[in-house]
Amino acid sequence: MAVFFTAALLTMARPSMAFDMGQSTRCVAIPDQMKVCKDVGYSEMRLPNFLGHTDLEREVVPRSEDWRPLLETGCHPQTQAFLCSLIAPVCLDTFIQPCRSLCVAVRDSCAPMLACQGQQWPEALDCDRFPTGEDMCLSHHTKFNHFTKDLPKPACQNCPSVEEAPAMKTVLDSFCQHDFAVTAKLHRRRLPVCEPEYKIEGRVEFIRQGPLLPYDTQHLLQQWLLINLRCANVLVRPGRSQLYVLTGSVQPDGTLALTRLFPWHKKDANIAVATRKWKHHRC
């Protein structure tokens, strides 16, 4: 996995995009290796696309991968539809661009993720360039927001404090003070060319579940790592895994914030005792 919002992404999305609606186009099958637009809802795309790419194998497919980390953050439920309408536009009798309302919805949700990496929303995706009408363009569907509004979401945040060899009372107090506490193994994989890749390795175990959902928590923490790469770089050394106790809360706006992290080494008996005592502990 490429690191979130690489320089290649920004190069691809500069305002050099000058697609001429009058130029001739051709329809091609969306290739299997184009994972970003897999299961997008149609099987054929137009070339050139709306980013001006004409070569499927040398431009469209490899550059589409630069968007994958953005999709994996889950910043907006229609991010895939928006991006694929540009990089793999559906092959119909007329050109179907994203509506301005869709662009604005995706931008408002995803631009903060870019900002977390010190980047700005690409100029070539300026929402003012897309049509305002809702008839002949891909529109924003508010129903997606209703479906996901109750699920906690990760957000860009200041790095949580990391406390080595904490006292048992410190760990128990953290369990009491926060909405949830879990154990998770964070892994940093060495990659020969790209930036390091971070992932949650194995299962996430609950100490205090709080508002988290069992089926969603591992994915939620994985998204947190993708968004907060600078923190991830501090938390996990290259080429190894680290088991952590992570505590945090869900904010009033529904975003998840990690607050205190305890690296759990074999010698940390206080953490082990605290997790056992928690079942009968009174805050």
Domains located in the chain, CATH noted: 7-148 (1.10.2000.10), 153-280 (2.40.50)
Say if residue 48 is preceded by a cis peptide, omega within 30 of 0: yes
Q: Tell me, what's the pLDDT at 13?
A: 44
Is the pTM higher than 0.75? The answer reads no
pLDDT in tens, the chain (283 residues): 333 344 334 444 444 444 555 567 899 999 999 999 988 999 999 999 988 898 999 999 998 988 887 888 888 899 999 999 999 999 988 889 999 999 999 999 999 888 887 788 888 789 999 999 777 899 877 554 444 456 788 889 999 999 999 999 999 999 999 999 999 999 887 665 555 578 899 999 999 999 999 989 999 999 899 889 888 888 887 777 899 999 999 998 888 999 999 999 988 999 999 999 999 999 9
Q: Tell me, what's the pLDDT at 135?
A: 75
Q: Which pair of structure tokens corresponds to residue 94? A: 């007329």
How far apart CA 122 and CA 242 sit, in angstroms, is 35
Q: Tell me, what's the pLDDT at 22?
A: 55
Q: Tell me, what's the pLDDT at 6?
A: 41
Asked if 46 contacts 89 with a C-beta cutoff of 8 angstroms, the reply is: yes
- By three-state DSSP, how is residue 16 classified? coil
Q: Tell me, what's the pLDDT at 61?
A: 92
Helices (H), the chain: 7-12, 61-64, 68-72, 79-87, 100-116, 143-148, 168-177, 217-227, 229-235, 269-277
Considering only CA atoms, which of 56, 90, 75 is closest in space to residue 227? 75
Q: Tell me, what's the pLDDT at 12?
A: 43
Q: Tell me, what's the pLDDT at 1?
A: 38
How far apart CA 274 and CA 283 sit, in angstroms, is 13
Asked if 81 contacts 106 with a C-beta cutoff of 8 angstroms, the reply is: no
Question: Is the dihedral angle over the CA atoms 262, 263, 268, 273 positive or is it negative?
Answer: positive
**Beta-carbon contacts of residue 220 (< 8 Å; ≥ 6 apart):** 152, 153, 154, 212, 256
Q: Tell me, what's the pLDDT at 95?
A: 84
